[in-house]
A and B are shown apart, each in its own frame.
Chain A
Amino acid sequence: QQQVKQSPQSLIVQKGGISIINCAYENTAFDYFPWYQQFPGKGPALLIAIRPDVSEKKEGRFTISFNKSAKQFSLHIMDSQPGDSATYFCAASSNFGNEKLTFGTGTRLTIIP
């Protein structure tokens, strides 16, 4: 049973536009929701993370929006740049003695000039 559903699978955005990636989760015990960015041949890099006590978190051009009642969260990349072209993964975990991350299936983002 997939516990974190991510969409879209791929996304093409023009330079300067807004990239939006969505995730939905099922396990109400999840209390930590990070986003990771992965370039080919590299490991995932932590981009930004949120806990359910806030509805939005912004770091530079990256914003997470969180809707606890709908069990959904999304990543917004403002002023998207070609260097943002990568695969993005949402994830979730619950702090019950272990830090197992459950990942979404990934979104391949391509920023075109």
Chain B
Amino acid sequence: DAGVTQSPTHLIKTRGQHVTLRCSPISGHKSVSWYQQVLGQGPQFIFQYYEKEERGRGNFPDRFSARQFPNYSSELNVNALLLGDSALYLCASSLEQSLHFGNGTRLTVT
């Protein structure tokens, strides 16, 4: 079975630019969550979507937004990139509270 897939795997952007990260959940999973993992730290919750509706939002600025599509895939958008946005962005899909993560998108902001 295919796990959670994320694209792209790596991305380099310049300060002030915009980025879109994509995620396809495990088949049958209707919930998708996004996490930011800064090097050396645990993942931090950004958003959760279930059936295309936002179920939760973490302590991130409005520059971060997301959406979920009818096929349950999801996009994370970040505007006006800052150097501090450099991190591994993880997508997870879930069934009954059990989260399964993809391998992430490594974003570097220069």
A: which residues have CB within 8 A of B?
6, 32, 34, 36, 41-46, 49, 89, 91, 93, 95, 97-106
Bound CA–CA A84/B21 (angstroms): 31
Contact B45 A44 (CB under 8 A): no
> Quick check: B99 and A101 within 8 Å, CB to CB?
yes
Which residues of A lie under 8 Å from residue B42 when comparing CB positions? 6, 89, 91, 103-106
**Cβ of A49 and Cβ of B98 under 8 Å apart?**
yes
The 9 closest A-B pairs by CB, nearest first: A103-B42, A98-B56, A43-B101, A98-B55, A43-B103, A100-B45, A44-B101, A100-B56, A98-B48
B25 interface residue, CB < 8 Å from A? no
- Which residue of chain A has the shortest Cβ distance to B40 in the bound complex? A106
- For residue B45, which residue of chain A has the nearest CB? A100
Contact B43 A44 (CB under 8 A): yes
The answer on a CB contact under 8 Å between B56 and A44 is no
Q: Which residues of the partner chain A approach B7 to less than 8 Å between Cβ atoms? A: none
How big is the B interface, by class?
A: 20 to 34
Within 8 A of A (CB), among B75-110: 90, 92, 94, 97-104
- Bound together, the chains give a CA A99 to CA B49 distance in angstroms of 10
Q: Nearest chain B CB to A77's CB is how many angstroms away? A: 19
Which residues on the B side are within 8 Å of A43 (C-beta)? 4, 90, 92, 101-104
Asked if A34 contacts B99 (CB within 8 A), the reply is: yes
Q: Would you give the 0/1 interface string for B56-74, flagging 1 where the beta carbon is closer than 8 Å to chain A?
A: 1010000000000000000
Q: Which of B4, B44, B94, B102 contacts A99 (CB under 8 A)?
A: B94
**Is the pair A46, B100 in contact by a Cβ cutoff of 8 Å?**
yes
Question: Is there a chain A Cβ closer than 8 Å to B24's Cβ?
Answer: no
Closest partner residue, chain A, to B106 (CB atom): A41
List the B side residues contacting A41 at CB < 8 Å: 103
Cβ contacts under 8 Å, A42 to chain B: 103-104
